[in-house]
Structure 1
Amino acid sequence: MGRVQGKVALVTGGASGIGLSTAALLAKEGAKVVIADFNMEGAREAAENIKANGGDAFGIFLDAGDENSIKEAIEFTVKNFGKISVLFNNVGLTNLKKDLDVVNIDLDEWDRLMNVNLKSVLIGSKFAIPHMIEAGGGSIINTASMAGFTGDTIRAAYGASKAAVVNLTKYIATQYGKDKIRCNAVAPGLILTPAAKNNMTPEVLDIFAKYNTLPYHGEPDDIGYTVLFLASDESKFITGQTIQVEGGHYIANPSVPDFNEYMKKAQS
Structure 2
Amino acid sequence: MGRVQDQVAIVTGGASGIGYATALKLAKEGAKIVIGDFNQHGAEQTAKEIKLNGGEAFGLFMDAAKEDSIKNLIDFTVESFGKIDILFNNVGSTDLNKDLDVVNLDLDEWDRLMDVNVKSIVIGCKYAVPHLIKSGGGSIINTASMAGFTGDSIRTAYGSSKAAVVNLTRYIAAQYGKYSIRCNAVAPGLILTPASERNLPPDILELFLKHNALSYHGKPDDIANAVLFLASNESKFITGQTLQIEGGHYISNPTMPDFNAFTSE
Q: TM-score, normalised by structure 1?
A: 0.98
CA offset digits 1:200-221 (Å, max 9, x no partner): 0001001100000000000000
Instruction: Return the letter of the residue paired with 1:94.
Output: T
1:86: Cα distance to partner? 0.2
> Structure 1 residue 21 and structure 2 residue 30: aligned?
no
Mapped partners of 2:2, 2:8: distance in 1: 13
> Structure 1 residue 3 and structure 2 residue 14: aligned?
no
Instruction: Give SS of 1:125's match.
Output: helix
Structure 1 unaligned regions, length at least 5: none
> Structure 1 residue 198 and structure 2 residue 202: aligned?
no
Mapped partners of 1:78, 1:181: distance in 2: 17
> Structure 1 residue 212 and structure 2 residue 207: aligned?
no
Name the counterpart of 1:46. Answer: 46
Instruction: Return the letter of the residue paired with 2:89.
Output: N
> Structure 1 residue 174 and structure 2 residue 183: aligned?
no
Mapped partners of 1:65, 1:194: distance in 2: 23
Runs (4 or more) in structure 1 with deviation over 4 Å come to none
Q: Aligned ranges for residues 33-112 of structure 1 at < 5 Å?
A: 33-112=33-112
Mapped partners of 2:41, 2:236: distance in 1: 34
Mapped partners of 1:251, 1:242: distance in 2: 15
1:259: Cα distance to partner? 1.1
Mapped partners of 1:251, 1:113: distance in 2: 27
1:66: Cα distance to partner? 0.2
Name the counterpart of 1:120. Answer: 120
CA offset digits 1:151-170 (Å, max 9, x no partner): 00001000000000000000
1:6: Cα distance to partner? 1.6
Structure 2 unaligned regions, length at least 5: none
Q: Aligned ranges for residues 119-268 of structure 1 at < 5 Å?
A: 119-265=119-265
1:51: Cα distance to partner? 0.6
Instruction: Give SS of 2:203's match.
Output: helix
Mapped partners of 2:264, 2:4: distance in 1: 48
Mapped partners of 2:216, 2:199: distance in 1: 18
1:263: Cα distance to partner? 1.7
Q: How many equivalent pairs are there?
A: 265
Instruction: Return the letter of the residue paired with 1:95.
Output: D
Mapped partners of 1:78, 1:229: distance in 2: 23
Give the share of equivalent positions with the same residue, in percent. 70
Mapped partners of 1:166, 1:15: distance in 2: 24
Mapped partners of 2:216, 2:264: distance in 1: 21
Mapped partners of 1:38, 1:94: distance in 2: 14
Instruction: Give SS of 1:42's match.
Output: helix
Mapped partners of 1:52, 1:255: distance in 2: 49
Instruction: Give SS of 2:248's match.
Output: coil
Mapped partners of 1:95, 1:245: distance in 2: 23
Q: TM-score, normalised by structure 2?
A: 0.99
Mapped partners of 2:41, 2:211: distance in 1: 37
